[in-house]
Amino acid sequence: MLLNDTALIFGRYARQTLRSRLAMLFGVLMPLLYLVFFGPLLTGLPLASRGSSWQVLVPGLLLQLGLFGAAFAGFTIIIEKNLGIVERMRVTPVSRLALLLGRVLRDTAVFVFQSVLLVLAALVMGLRAPLAGILIGFVFVALLTLSLASLSYALAMKVHTPQEFGPAINTMTMPSMLLSGLMLPMSLAPGWLDVLSHFMPLRYLVDAVRDAYVGSYATAHMLYGVLVAVAVAALAVTVGTRVFRTAGA
C-alpha cells in the first residue's frame, strides 16, 4: 500500500518536472558558475591534505546544490495549499507518509541528476576522483535532499504565504553554507570558527564526501558523516510525516 501510494505521488510530480526541463537544467547553473569562476582561485592554497582543489570544491558544490534546492522545495506546496490541492489529496485514502515521500523522492531524483551533470562538467575541467568516491557523493546528496525537502515541506505546511517561508529558509541556509565549509575546508578558518562549525550537521557530510573524493573511506569523517546523514534523514521524514498528518486537522 505504502509503495503503491508513494509511486503514485512520485509519478505525478515527476511528470510535472519532466514538463519543465529548462527549470531543472537551470537549477545546476549556479554550481556550474562556482565551478568555472571559483575553482581556479583555489589553485595554490594549502589543500594538499584534502587532495586537489577540485577534490575540495566539487564535494562542497554537490552538497550546496542539495542544500539550496531542497530547502526551497516547500514553495510549491504553499501554492498547492492555496489552490486546495493539498487538502483534496489529504482526504483521499493515500498514506500521509506517501504524500511526503512521493514529493521528496522526486526532489531527490532531480538533484542527483543535476549532481551527475555537475560532476561530468568537473571531470572535463580537471577533477580526478575514484568512481566509488563519486558514487558515495551522490548518496550523500540524496540523503541531504531527503532531509531538507522533508523539513521544507513541513515548514511550508505550517506557514501561509511565501513571504513567511522565504526569510525562514534563508535564515537556515546561509549559516549552514558559511559554517559547514562548503567552499573551503573549515581547517583553514580561525580556531573559534572551526569549533563553532562542529555544531552544524552539514559539516560532517561535507568532510565525509571530501574524504570519499580522495579515496579515503574508512575514516572518522566518513563514519560521522554517515551517522549524521542517516539520523537527520530519519528525523526529518518523521517530522514531515507528522506535520502532513496533523496540519489543518
**What is the pLDDT, as a whole number, of residue 43?**
63
Angle between helices 131-158 and 96-125 (to 10 degrees): 140
Q: Give me the count of residues in the chain.
A: 249
**What is the pLDDT, as a whole number, of residue 249?**
46
Provide DSSP, 202-217.
Answer: HHHHHHHHHHHHTT--
Encode burial over 44-55: b for 16+ CB neighbours within 10 A, e otherwise: eeebeebbbbbb
* Residue for grid cell 521528496: 104
Integer CA distances (angstroms), 71 to 3, 87, 111, 147, 164, in order: 25, 22, 12, 9, 14
Provide DSSP, 37-88.
Answer: HTGGGGTTSS-GGG-SHHHHHHHHHHHHHHHHHHHTTTHHHHHHHHHTHHHH
The tens digit of pLDDT for each residue in 105-157 reads 999 998 998 899 889 888 988 888 999 999 999 999 999 999 999 999 999 98
pTM for the whole structure: 0.88
Q: Grid coordinates representing 65?
A: 546544490
- CB-based contact 94:135 (threshold 8 Å): no
**What is the pLDDT, as a whole number, of residue 159?**
87
- CB-based contact 86:158 (threshold 8 Å): no
Integer CA distances (angstroms), 185 to 116, 123, 142, in order: 23, 21, 22
CA 114 to chain centre: 11
Integer CA distances (angstroms), 27 to 24, 32, 36, 163, in order: 5, 10, 16, 22
What parts of the chain have a pLDDT lower than 70?
Answer: 21, 23-25, 27-28, 42-51, 247-249
- CB-based contact 111:141 (threshold 8 Å): yes
- What are the domain boundaries of the chain? 2-246
- CB-based contact 57:204 (threshold 8 Å): no
**What is the pLDDT, as a whole number, of residue 205?**
95
The tens digit of pLDDT for each residue in 63-75 reads 988 898 899 988 8
